[in-house]
Structure 1
Amino acid sequence: MASDNPTESSQDAPSGLGSARFDDAESRRIAQRYRRRLTIGVVLLVILAVPAVIHTKSAMDGLVNRPPNWLPDDLPEKVVFNRFMTRFDLADLLMVSWEGADLQSPQLDAAAAMVDLLSVEGVATADGTVPIRLVTNDDVAVALPDGYPVDEAKLTAIAERINEILVETRTVSELSPPPTDETGPYHDPNYPIIWVRSGEDTVRRMMASPANFPRGAAQRRLEGSIVGPDGEQTCLLIALTDIGATHRRSLLPQLRSLVAETVGKDPDDPTEIVMVGGPIDGATVDDASVRSVEFFAPPSAIVAALMCFLCLRSLPLTATIVSIAVVCEGLVLAIVYYTGTPMNAVLIVLPPLVFVLTISSGIHLSNYYFDAAEEFADLTPALAAKRALRAGMVPCLLAVGTTVVGLGSLTLVRLHPIRVFGFVASIGVSMSLLLLLWCLPGAMVMAGFRNDDPKRPKRPPRFVAAKWLTHWLAEKYKDFVRARLARPWPMIFGFALITLGAGQGLTQLESSVSVPRMFLPDSFIRTQYDWFEENIGATVSGDLLVTFPKPPAVVASGDGEQVDAPESPEAVDLVDPLDQLRIVQAVHKAAIDEPRISSVLSAASFIPPVSRSRGLAGSASRTVARSLIRDPDSSLGSLGFISHSDDDYLWRLSFRLPQKVEADYGSDLSRIDATANAALADALASLEVDPAVAAKIDVDLTGQVAIIQKAQEVMLRDLFRSFLAAFGVVAVVMVLLLKSVQGGLIAMIPNLFPTVTIFGLMGLIRSPLDIGSVMTASVALGIAVDDTVHLLSRFGSRRARGLSLPRSALGALDQCGIAMLETTMICGLSLMVYWFSDFVPTSHFAVLMFSLLSAALFGDVFLLPAMMASPLGNYLSRTVGSDPEASLTHESAESTDNLIHSVHEVPWQDRETITKS
């Protein structure tokens, strides 16, 4: 009870903060200081908003998604992939088709000719400049097949479309007229297309000398890859330059319209032309990522602001918190831009995450202000703000610190965008807390109290709204919690069973970075892939690389000098080219026999059967075959299936897999790799290749599907590694916070509940982690610890004043519960706005974060209080940052009455303590 002497009050006011110790002048001085800080903070926010706006746009303009580039270059699979891409000079490959794109059709040749006008065969002027060569109507007319039906208007439309593409994708600004005869050919990388080939082009090459395949045989060899099952439907293969890939979001719609105009389709109907492949995947993901931010960030911020105002019922507090959240949301994108990392689908969920974490910190700080106003009725708004800052600073710093630890653990993930995500998000969250600590006290002073009687300050307006909104629910909840805290062990065992049961699914958790799976089944990109696979062939590409060594380029002469090796087949080739062909044919046949592989193309597909006869014709056949293999400029070498270097021959076997409903190609790729290696070993044995040479011949699995699969495996493996690292560091923080090893480990149990339960359930229902949700485990751990820290701080305060475990647990929950519920509602529901996105990673991120936030709330309002009320609570009492002076007065208003009325629900050993207090 309070002392009659107001200056010696032991409970109604803390020492040094009561009205008897603070006169109006001091209160005005504090209020003036806080208002001045708020003014400086507003100016700072305005200044920070400038780069936030400008460089947010710059970051979004540079958005590009290339999952193969996300892996570290020292990863063995990435080393093989980089070698593969470099040796075969591969670029992003686009496949284009339409109804009626048949072999020998004039529309196919016309479309290929028009796209070829965008290729890299530019020109250089005498002074070395690189002008752009604009296409004229005559250029278009000459390139079109003879007799192709086209009028002048159509020629003009096609020429204008081509020139528009050239200008938009050009990186130099100078426009020059067509070159004169004095200028020579120039390989211009600033053009968007490297080369274009049609199915008919490939068939003609196979029919030409020296292969001389009959048309029917050539078509059958290409079925399932670039020729459909009907033997007629085919496509264009278009290789993009780096410039073309960079501008793919603007290039591909123009390219689609160009093909449509050329073949007589509607250029305004995107469904008329089917486009699949890496560039269309990346462009579609890029567009969806930008659309997610542009369409859903504003309504998400509006929902958060409205809910924040409904909970706080204070315009100054709401405006300050939301303004800081919005500015920090933009600043993290600006920081991404400053790091030089292109925006991508992983980083696209960074702004909403920082936004909700800022809102959460602001709500908790505001709650300390409201508690101070309610506990100490004689405090002015300025003094209540000062007390809130003193009481809330340590818990908020600890809470945000643990969140930063969770985010920082993502830097252990080897996927580059996720490392950047963890680094930038840590900066954003820390920056937002500093701004809140600087600005929010001034907003608290401006918020003030509702004073019906000027001589008697009342509780802030937020409590009126809270009672109106949550009174019935709060009473029912209190009744339930009182009963559970009287017997805490059933609650603890119940949570343990749920966690263990759901945790069984962690071993079945999968991940996916497959682009088609990032969109709904009825989405445009999925329907395009479905059409292509039904009418032409599989679209998931992979490659097998067979390496044959060459002898050293120089040999030692008798006098010790180095001279060139003799140019004889025996000296040039450790393995005869015909034996190389037979080995590749064996691997080719084994691959095509794999049930999941729909087609295989290799150099063996373009070489006719080699005669084994000893006559002149057989000898000539073998000589021609050897020449085709050895000569990189031969008709076979130009197809891109054999790469020559001073050290080896590298043969490429390209295979296709159909799109799967499942996320994982791991089992298929493992079987293909094993089959290829077995076929290689059998072929080497049958040809009796020298063991020393055979040891240097190997086959590697690579290509897009292999590198994407590796990215999925790295993502999943590193997810657990980063989570364990975050858990370990946060556990150490909790040990220091509670000054007890046992207490720190016990306090971590409720924080494991949301992550283990939600991710375990995802494994049980086979819902894979995608690029939008892979980082949420570590984030969820940090968020869950936020509420734990605030709750433990209030619990420690009550225990320090001698209250029983159940009373301390219920009092702490009564004081923190509203803020915990508000932060979960505001953050969860504002994020759920992104659930309406048709971009699956963004939608999954919203649902997963809402689920994790809700599970964390359940753990903190049911499991943690039950543990506090049990004998385990003795290890959770010594909390750094607890405030003993505020332990009892909060309960003196309403919660004490509730506790006294419910004394029969408290264990008998605690009733005496409650009655006496």
Structure 2
Amino acid sequence: MASFFQKRDPWGHSFSLWVVVFMIFITPVLFGVLREIRQENNVENWLPPNDPQSKVLSWHRKSFGIEDRLLLSWEGSSLTDLRADRLKTLLLGTPDEKGILRGGSPYIQNVLTPQDAIRKMVEYRVEPDEAQERLKGVLLGTGALKIQLTEAGRKRQEQTIQELIGKAKSELGIELTVKPAFKEWVEIVDESNEAEIVETPASDDEEQVDFQALVAEIPSHDFQVTWPRMQPASQLSEQIQQLALSLKRPTILPETKSEKSEKTADAAATHPALVKDCFFAVGTPIAVAIELSDTGDADHAAAVAAVKAAASKSGIPEAGLHMGGRPVAGAALNRMVKESSWNTAYPVWQFHKRSVTLFSGLIGIALAFLMLRSLRLSCLVLLVSYYTTFVAVSIVPLTGGTMNMVLVVMPTLLTVLTLSGSIHVANYWKHAAHVDMKNAVSQAVEMARAPCMMASLTTAIGLASLMTSPLSPVRDFGLYSSIGCLISLLMILYGLPSLLQLWPGKPPKESDVDTRHWQKLGRVLSRHQVLVSMSCLIIFAVSCYGFKWFRTETKVIKYFPDSSRVIQDYLFLEENLSGITPVDTVICFDEAAQKNMNFVERVELVRKIQQKIAEHPEISGSISLADFRPVSEPLPENASTFQKLRNAKRVNETERRVRESLKTGDAKSFLYIADEAIEMEQETANGDRSVAVNKGDELWRITAQVAIMTDLNYGHLTRDLNQVTQSVLRDHAGTTHLVTGTIPLFLRTQQAVLESLIKSFGLAFAVIAVVMMILLRSPTAGLITMLPNLMPIGVVFGLISWMKMPVDIGTMITASVALGIAVDGTLHLLTWFKIGIEEGKTKSEAVAAAMGHCGPAMWQTSAAVGISLAMLYPAELLLVSRFGILMSALIAAALLADIIFLPALLAGPLGSLIVASHKKDQAAAANAPLLQDGKATKPHLPQAIKRTQSETTLET
């Protein structure tokens, strides 16, 4: 029967022509579809809506009306800085005659300045100094460590600074950065300045606060120092303060022994201190909290751009502006994902920076040209590889999908996978063309069909196994990549051969198919198969021990390089002002608890919990509705009736005002009266617990700010918050609590990453192992064959665990992908080993022949794919960079496993099992029913394979 590539249509045209015509026809259609592709990198949407933690967070945000917000600050800012109010006016607009805001940004819902918060607290009879202290670590920072010198220190200030820097470096290993002393902002009027000065209209209702007096309370000092990951309440801060206070002026002349032993009263005068005091002072810098509207939440990039434009217009210099929060990180992530594909900031001649992913693909093509030694074959491989990627990526917008930080590596992956299969087909074509140029295409496809189909299907299985993940980016990657893998198979078996048939070339030279060195390697491995196998197993076992330190990481901010602007902004905010990540503790009072405690008592209970939470060393500050109320002392037991009536009136008045503010929206973000019953599951260190909220329950929200730029174990933090809250609530019946927010979501996502890694890899391993068992007709042989396929994953992931490197969502997907790729070379080698056994060769001869056939292709594909993926390493987005370098390492390990470990196994126990299975098949064939002509049925090899195998034997 004629093959597909030998058939012709009624008009005499080859079927290959119609394949190429179809490829050309759908190209413009897919170009139009590809233009509609969108970005989506919202980490909070990774988990499915029915996930318990997602349910809690969704209910929490809906109940308290929490919108996405970003935190904005700038260097040198303080409470007397008028630019904060100007920025607020520009973003929200000015009220018209009816009180409706006009001229603001559609991306902004609300703006809260520290001045607003202090005025509101003062309105509720909180002293300004106390109000400022309550906002510390939330909207007010302490800035750098301020150093006040003595008179002796001022006389030699430069020497004192250098001595402090040197001692901090030698004794504590800390690099100190010196900054000028804080100076209150003074507006400089410059008529040539084009920045519009926006005056904020004063409100008659606002409580007048003397912010000038608050700023003036910052003690005078001579300079400031800061250091990486600075935290005012940390042990390191105390050590640096003690180090500064210990600085003494050295003596000019060396002391004698008697002078050293003397301890006179004027010793202090002989060695005067250089530093009088060092301290952190609350009040500078300040932060402005900006809540996004639904429009801003839908387009983080536009919202961030609008805020930057308003900041510039209000007089804040761009160089000193710092922003943080999920919208900022999301916008930066989307931008860097796009820039990894095409970054116009670099000129065309710096193509390796302009498009890291395209450069990676081009390197693969260049390597393919060097390996294949044919310009024609390299051009065809280039066309097929990129065309496959183009079609596969077009499916994303065609099915309503969006591009994300994980899916961005799919184009490069499909390019190199197609490149790998195409090089195998090209090598089969070279073998066939050396014997019969006319039928070389059909013979190459006949040789490649079985191993390429098995390799592509197993790779697709490995990719599809990722669809079991609860994380949406991983599921999307698994779905679209497995579809792309099947498209790649069609292009390898039909697209490339069609192009080869329509663009025929000259037959390859005899030197192009010389495989003597690979056959020699196969014979050496066969002779030392025990030593080689045991060495590989020992390396495998030692590497796998590293899984003892395996851990995951899901913080999006960790995907950015340290030099990026977003990282520098985050560091400034967390070192000088507050933690970026909020964690919320919700206190629930049921009807019984509300009857047992009056409103003021509930306020004080919430305040007590908040104070205990704020004592945690990893929390920079916290805020709740209790901060907007003065501290209320409980009534003495012997209080008079008049005192009780007066207190009851005060309690009722307080509750009335708060209830009214709930209607206007002022207190909605801190207090919520449940309007429906709901039951939620909360994950804790002691297991899941159920929290029921009934209609009419009173819910109080305490928000604490936590640093995200540290290696803090969020699991320990949530455990501590649960314990602290429970220690207070256990004595009050009818109360319960929930810990929610971004941090518990991070924990759940980390757990989901680990679950995805185990489940997807386990499923892929099981399916591929079953395929191997069926293919080899032996369960034992199938399991042994999986050892070389497991070895790359065990060695690489074991080593990165040894090095304490966390596995993020990008590196997680490489395990299942690498398993599928490793099976590719295994299947090709097994196919030709079995052919050698069927031809009557010994195990050693069959290994040598299989290495001669598959070694060049495996080496070429691994080199082309591995090196091209390694070109992703310079990518600024660390997610892409880590994916590239890890995949490159896995492919290199897979190559070594396939050309060293697998041949040794084939020359040993695995080969014996395959030989035994072959003898059993021969015995079964001998007893098979006879055909009509009296001859027994007998399995036969394709003619092309026989002919090529005979040629290889002659060369040997």
Is this a same-fold pair by TM over 0.5? yes
Which of 577, 580, 583 in structure 1 is aligned with 2:599?
577
Other-structure match for 1:748: 786
Structure 1 position 372, deviation (Å)? 2.2
- The one-letter code matched in structure 2 to 1:831 is L
Other-structure match for 2:252: none
SS in structure 2 at match of 1:436: helix
Q: How does 1:162-561 map onto structure 2 within 5 Å?
A: 191-208=106-123, 211-229=124-142, 230-232=281-283, 233-265=285-317, 270-294=318-342, 295-374=355-434, 377=435, 379-381=436-438, 383-446=439-502, 448=504, 450=506, 460-461=508-509, 464=511, 475=517, 479-550=520-591
Other-structure match for 1:54: 32
Q: Indicate how the Cα distance of structure 1 residues 338 and 675 shifts in structure 2: closer, same or farther if over 3 A, else same.
A: farther
Contact in 2 for aligned 1:119/1:193 (Cα 8 Å): no
- The one-letter code matched in structure 2 to 1:275 is M
Q: Indicate how the Cα distance of structure 1 residues 320 and 120 shifts in structure 2: closer, same or farther if over 3 A, else same.
A: farther
Which deviates the most, 70-79 or 336-345?
336-345
Q: Indicate how the Cα distance of structure 1 residues 797 and 480 shifts in structure 2: closer, same or farther if over 3 A, else same.
A: closer
Structure 1 position 617, deviation (Å)? 4.7
Which of 798, 805, 808 in structure 2 is aligned with 1:760?
798
Structure 1 position 312, deviation (Å)? 2.4
Return the alpha-carbon distance in structure 1 between the equivalents of residues 431 and 497 of structure 2: 14
Other-structure match for 1:186: none
Return the alpha-carbon distance in structure 2 between the equivalents of residues 206 and 401 of structure 1: 66
Q: Indicate how the Cα distance of structure 1 residues 255 and 51 shifts in structure 2: closer, same or farther if over 3 A, else same.
A: farther
Return the alpha-carbon distance in structure 2 between the equivalents of residues 261 and 460 of structure 1: 69
- The superposition leaves residues 229-275 of structure 1 with CA deviations (integer Å, 9 ceiling, x where unpaired) of 1322211111112211222223313421321221252xxxx433111
Return the alpha-carbon distance in structure 2 between the equivalents of residues 261 and 478 of structure 1: 73
Which of 62, 69, 82 in structure 2 is aligned with 1:106?
82
Return the alpha-carbon distance in structure 1 between the equivalents of residues 576 and 725 of structure 2: 28
Contact in 1 for aligned 2:582/2:741 (Cα 8 Å): yes
Return the alpha-carbon distance in structure 2 between the equivalents of residues 109 and 676 of structure 1: 36
Structure 1 position 636, deviation (Å)? 9.0
- The superposition leaves residues 290-346 of structure 1 with CA deviations (integer Å, 9 ceiling, x where unpaired) of 111122233223222222222223444433332232233233332222333332111
Which of 657, 660, 669 in structure 1 is aligned with 2:718?
669
Other-structure match for 1:146: none
- The one-letter code matched in structure 1 to 2:722 is D
Which of 597, 604, 616 in structure 1 is aligned with 2:619?
597
Structure 1 position 195, deviation (Å)? 0.5
Other-structure match for 1:68: 44
Return the alpha-carbon distance in structure 1 between the equivalents of residues 96 and 296 of structure 2: 11
Structure 1 position 494, deviation (Å)? 0.9
Which deviates the most, 621-630 or 215-224?
621-630
Q: Indicate how the Cα distance of structure 1 residues 495 and 30 shifts in structure 2: closer, same or farther if over 3 A, else same.
A: farther
Which runs of 5 or more residues in structure 2 are unaligned? 143-280, 343-354, 676-694, 922-938
Contact in 1 for aligned 2:20/2:498 (Cα 8 Å): no
Q: How does 1:797-876 map onto structure 2 within 5 Å?
A: 797-876=835-914
SS in structure 1 at match of 2:662: coil
SS in structure 2 at match of 1:274: strand
Structure 1 position 846, deviation (Å)? 0.3
- The superposition leaves residues 28-51 of structure 1 with CA deviations (integer Å, 9 ceiling, x where unpaired) of 878999983333222222233334
Contact in 2 for aligned 1:577/1:630 (Cα 8 Å): no
SS in structure 2 at match of 1:58: coil
Which deviates the most, 577-586 or 364-373?
577-586
- The one-letter code matched in structure 1 to 2:619 is I
Q: Indicate how the Cα distance of structure 1 residues 101 and 574 shifts in structure 2: closer, same or farther if over 3 A, else same.
A: same
Q: How does 1:772-811 map onto structure 2 within 5 Å?
A: 772-811=810-849
Return the alpha-carbon distance in structure 2 between the equivalents of residues 393 and 585 of structure 1: 72
Count, aligned residues:
758
Return the alpha-carbon distance in structure 2 between the equivalents of residues 34 and 438 of structure 1: 19
Contact in 1 for aligned 2:598/2:651 (Cα 8 Å): no
Which deviates the most, 317-326 or 785-794?
317-326
Other-structure match for 1:143: none
1:653 is the counterpart of 2:709: no
Return the alpha-carbon distance in structure 2 between the equivalents of residues 876 and 219 of structure 1: 79
- The one-letter code matched in structure 1 to 2:425 is L
Return the alpha-carbon distance in structure 2 between the equivalents of residues 358 and 123 of structure 1: 63
Contact in 2 for aligned 1:719/1:775 (Cα 8 Å): yes
Contact in 1 for aligned 2:418/2:488 (Cα 8 Å): yes
Other-structure match for 1:187: none
Q: Indicate how the Cα distance of structure 1 residues 46 and 249 shifts in structure 2: closer, same or farther if over 3 A, else same.
A: farther
SS in structure 1 at match of 2:405: coil
Contact in 2 for aligned 1:311/1:465 (Cα 8 Å): no
- The superposition leaves residues 622-647 of structure 1 with CA deviations (integer Å, 9 ceiling, x where unpaired) of 23333345445278952611112231
Other-structure match for 1:80: 56
Return the alpha-carbon distance in structure 2 between the equivalents of residues 733 and 828 of structure 1: 26
- The one-letter code matched in structure 2 to 1:597 is I
- The superposition leaves residues 424-461 of structure 1 with CA deviations (integer Å, 9 ceiling, x where unpaired) of 111111012113322222333356453xxxxxxxx525
Other-structure match for 2:239: none
- The one-letter code matched in structure 2 to 1:204 is R
- The one-letter code matched in structure 2 to 1:633 is L
Return the alpha-carbon distance in structure 1 between the equivalents of residues 621 and 102 of structure 2: 40
- The one-letter code matched in structure 1 to 2:294 is D
Contact in 1 for aligned 2:95/2:102 (Cα 8 Å): no
- The one-letter code matched in structure 1 to 2:548 is T
- The one-letter code matched in structure 2 to 1:193 is I
Return the alpha-carbon distance in structure 2 between the equivalents of residues 396 and 285 of structure 1: 37
Which deviates the most, 389-398 or 750-759?
389-398
Q: CA RMSD in A?
A: 3.1
1:95 is the counterpart of 2:67: no
Return the alpha-carbon distance in structure 1 between the equivalents of residues 673 and 486 of structure 2: 53
SS in structure 2 at match of 1:772: helix
TM-score normalised by structure 2 residue count: 0.74
1:643 is the counterpart of 2:655: no
Structure 1 position 888, deviation (Å)? 7.2
Return the alpha-carbon distance in structure 1 between the equivalents of residues 706 and 467 of structure 2: 33
Return the alpha-carbon distance in structure 2 between the equivalents of residues 661 and 720 of structure 1: 27
Structure 1 position 516, deviation (Å)? 2.0
Q: Indicate how the Cα distance of structure 1 residues 55 and 834 shifts in structure 2: closer, same or farther if over 3 A, else same.
A: farther
Other-structure match for 1:177: none
SS in structure 1 at match of 2:485: helix
Return the alpha-carbon distance in structure 1 between the equivalents of residues 952 and 451 of structure 2: 25
Which of 612, 622, 638 in structure 1 is aligned with 2:634?
612
Structure 1 position 198, deviation (Å)? 0.7
SS in structure 1 at match of 2:586: strand
- The one-letter code matched in structure 2 to 1:533 is E
Return the alpha-carbon distance in structure 1 between the equivalents of residues 729 and 397 of structure 2: 48
- The one-letter code matched in structure 2 to 1:603 is L
- The superposition leaves residues 554-576 of structure 1 with CA deviations (integer Å, 9 ceiling, x where unpaired) of xxxxxxxxxxxxxxxx9x75754
Contact in 2 for aligned 1:793/1:883 (Cα 8 Å): no
Contact in 2 for aligned 1:321/1:436 (Cα 8 Å): no
SS in structure 2 at match of 1:633: helix
Contact in 2 for aligned 1:118/1:192 (Cα 8 Å): no
Return the alpha-carbon distance in structure 2 between the equivalents of residues 46 and 204 of structure 1: 68
- The one-letter code matched in structure 1 to 2:566 is I
The percent identity for this pair of structures is: 27
Q: Indicate how the Cα distance of structure 1 residues 670 and 118 shifts in structure 2: closer, same or farther if over 3 A, else same.
A: farther
Which runs of 5 or more residues in structure 1 are unaligned? 1-15, 125-132, 136-161, 167-190, 451-458, 552-569, 899-917
- The one-letter code matched in structure 2 to 1:830 is S
Structure 1 position 891, deviation (Å)? 6.3
Contact in 2 for aligned 1:51/1:334 (Cα 8 Å): no
